[in-house]
Amino acid sequence: MKISTGEKTFYTINNIVIFLVSLTCLMPLLYIVATSFSSGAAIESGKVYLWPVDFTPAAYKVLTVSTGLFKYVWNSVVVTGVGVALSMIFTIICAYPLSKKKLFARKKITFFIVFTMLFGGGMIPTYLLVKELGLMNSYWSIWLTTLISPYNMLIMKSFFENIPDEIDESARIDGCSEWRILLQMYLPLSKAVIATLCLFYGVTYWNMFLKVLMYINDSRGYTLPVLIQQMVFQLEQIKLGTSVDLNQVAGANQVISESVKSAGVVVLIVPMLIVYPFLQKYFVKGVMLGSVKG
């Protein structure tokens, strides 16, 4: 089919607009990366824009030495890894029976779940409940209060509903139980939506900040976002460790708090940037397949 001149003009203008919008999203990231690799003198003089000036990785070395970075990274990995596993298990367990038309009061149960997307108990009642359950200063307070996302559960439920009933019926004729049908029939067909929801839950847990501050009292249990928040919002320069530690870091005298803060932000966002390309091929497919039915 031949494309008319008007359509060519529209597509050209559309591509230009999308490119410019993409730049507005990309430029802040480039600036943060450039700042993290630039010298303190270049940053203070306003020479840094989208490319490092007087390139130096000293900010990352100082960040590692002065904050115990790896401890916070490990805490974030634990919270994210265990959290995603638990959330996916319970999301699947919740979505599978709700996808069956024979389930008693199926529509009412779904309504109550959707209701929680609009109205919740609130921050203070949730905090008091967590405290009464003795979950304070434990990662279980984070995992249990973030266990199932109604939105993600509905996506998984809709995906299961799109699986042909003949698969379920043939498995039952062969004597399969519900658990075996779910594990050996449904889940292998659901790789796209599982990968998508893992990404959703992973981003949620990795960037979790408020709940960690609320429920974790011991600073040794803080995650990376809390560390970065404390660095970014502190008005004065952050304490860059002891003089003995910093003397062991090459180029530490060229580092200012701004570059160390930028290095922390980069460390926070890089893991998600690394994971996303591996899940990108499932992303659109998983969401679209899971949203065909309401």
pTM (2 decimals)? 0.81
Is residue 233's pLDDT more than 70? Answer: no
Going along the chain from its start, the domains and CATH numbers come out as: 57-289 (1.10.3720.10)
Neighbours of 14 (CB within 10 A): 10
Place of tokens 């809709």: 158
* Number of residues that make up the chain: 294
Lowest mean pLDDT among 56-70, 87-101, 141-155, 160-174: 56-70
Reported as a single tens digit per residue, the pLDDT across 39-54 is 888 888 888 888 888 8
- End-to-end CA separation in angstroms for the chain: 35
